[in-house]
């Protein structure tokens, strides 16, 4: 049995389990007689005792990207609806990302994946199934082609930050020079982003960037506290005196910046409390030396201060002062909050809302404006 035949069988078994024994789900053997549907299978769906039935035009895909949905499946689905209005397109695949599921729903294409994500809407006979799995796609079933890099890793992080912070247009060669990466690697990263509908190119030039979607996609592959090894501390006098001490210290030391909840509160207040998080350079004794300077006490449990060893120098790019306290750039703050623990992801979304409403204040207007200017 081929991989696609196995996919079809497993997907239809999932559908049968959701519908129950009162429904018949049958693959039509006469696919060749149905005309050129472009589908891998035609499946008839019928409830016991009901003369009405629906036909599902099934595509089986071992992998599927948002771009493939928009450019390949959506036009085919629109054509089939015009020719056979009683049919419903359905995709069965291994694993779907959230972005791909959104694109499929937007174009009215049903889906079933082997992780338990199902979406199917049929008007007659009436069928509505919506199931979201909390299980994430394993690395082996990535929707990106194997040769393309993912958005994880420090190098990808530099490009994500640059695309978010600086408005297009720009070319891969310009981005490579600014991030100090090879043009080939940058081009492959841009291919991945285009597959995910996070950027759009006109020829060799990037012309649009979904900066919010790009930051969310990057954050999905991060874990703030795992990617930035930290030391937990306690501030004996509380956060207020601690932040005053940080202000004083930052006048002489650039590689200490605020992130997390206290930084998010400066631009998008959502809640009170939380841990004070400070980035320091990734040296073995850096956090301990800073803790001693700030009068902090090491803590194995119950820490109210986290001193994070920066995973890459990009976290310091574009740091800005607010009320005398230097914090990470807004794009870095979003990445940190979305990939952080507790309520931090909600704080990250609040920062995104602020950024969308005030894009003219933080986003550099273009590559030419970036030269000689600090990052936002």
Question: Is the confidence at residue 336, as pLDDT, over 60?
Answer: yes
pLDDT digits (tens, 9 = 90+) for 148-195: 678 888 899 999 999 999 999 999 999 999 999 999 999 999 999 999
Band the pLDDT of 32: cuts 50, 70, 90. very low
Name the CATH code of domain 224-362 (choices 2.60.40, 2.60.120, 3.30.460, 3.40.50).
3.30.460
Query: Are the C-beta atoms of residues 126 and 184 closer than 8 Å to each other?
Result: no
78 pLDDT tier (thresholds 50, 70, 90) = confident
pLDDT of residue 97: 87
For the segment 79-86, the average pLDDT, to the nearest whole number, is 75
Q: Where are the alpha helices (DSSP H) in 91-227?
A: 98-106, 154-165, 172-179, 183-195, 211-220, 224-227
Of the two residues 2 and 317, the one the predictor is more confident about is 317
pTM over 0.85: no
pLDDT in tens, 310-327: 999 999 999 999 888 999
Which pLDDT band holds residue 38 (cuts at 50, 70, 90)?
Answer: low
Looking at domain 144-221, which of 1.10.10.10, 1.20.810.10, 3.40.1280.10, 3.40.190.10 is its CATH number?
A: 1.10.10.10
Task: Say which DSSP state 373 is in.
Answer: S
| Averaged pLDDT, 263-286 | 89
Q: Could you give the CA distance from residue 319 to residue 115 in angstroms, rounded to a whole number?
A: 40
């Amino acid at each position: 049995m081929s991989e696609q035949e196995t996919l079809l069988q497993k997907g239809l078994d999932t559908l049968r389990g959701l519908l129950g024994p009162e429904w018949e789900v049958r693959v039509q053997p006469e696919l060749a007689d149905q005309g050129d549907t472009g589908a891998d299978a035609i499946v008839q769906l019928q409830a016991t005792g009901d003369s009405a039935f629906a036909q599902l035009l099934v595509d089986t895909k071992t992998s599927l990207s948002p771009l493939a949905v928009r450019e390949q499946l959506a036009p085919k689905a629109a054509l089939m609806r015009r020719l056979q209005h009683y049919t419903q397109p359905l995709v069965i695949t291994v694993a779907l990302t959230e972005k791909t599921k959104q694109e499929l729903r937007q174009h009215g294409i049903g889906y079933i994946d082997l992780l338990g994500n199902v979406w199917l809407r049929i008007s007659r006979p009436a069928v509505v199934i919506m199931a979201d799995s909390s299980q994430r796609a394993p690395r082996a079933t990535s929707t990106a082609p194997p040769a393309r890099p993912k958005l994880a890793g420090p190098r990808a992080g530099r490009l994500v930050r640059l695309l978010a912070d600086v408005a297009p247009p720009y070319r891969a060669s310009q981005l490579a020079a600014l991030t100090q990466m090879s043009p080939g690697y940058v081009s492959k990263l841009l291919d991945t982003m285009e597959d995910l509908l996070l950027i759009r190119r006109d020829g060799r030039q990037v012309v649009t960037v979904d900066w919010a979607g790009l930051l969310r996609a990057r954050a999905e592959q991060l874990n703030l506290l795992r990617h930035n090894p930290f030391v937990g501390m306690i501030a004996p006098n509380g956060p207020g005196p601690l932040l005053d001490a940080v202000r004083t210290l930052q006048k002489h030391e650039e590689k200490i910046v605020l992130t997390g909840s206290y930084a998010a509160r400066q631009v998008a207040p959502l809640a009170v409390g939380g841990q004070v998080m400070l980035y320091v350079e990734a040296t073995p004794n850096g956090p301990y030396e800073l803790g001693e300077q700030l009068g902090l006490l090491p803590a194995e449990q119950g820490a109210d201060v986290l001193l994070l060893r920066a995973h890459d120098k990009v976290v310091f790019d574009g740091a800005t002062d607010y009320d005398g306290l230097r914090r990470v750039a807004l794009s870095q703050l979003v990445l940190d909050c979305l990939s952080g623990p507790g309520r931090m992801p909600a704080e990250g979304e609040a920062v995104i809302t602020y950024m969308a409403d005030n894009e003219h204040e933080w986003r550099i207007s273009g590559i030419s404006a970036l030269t000689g200017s600090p990052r936002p």
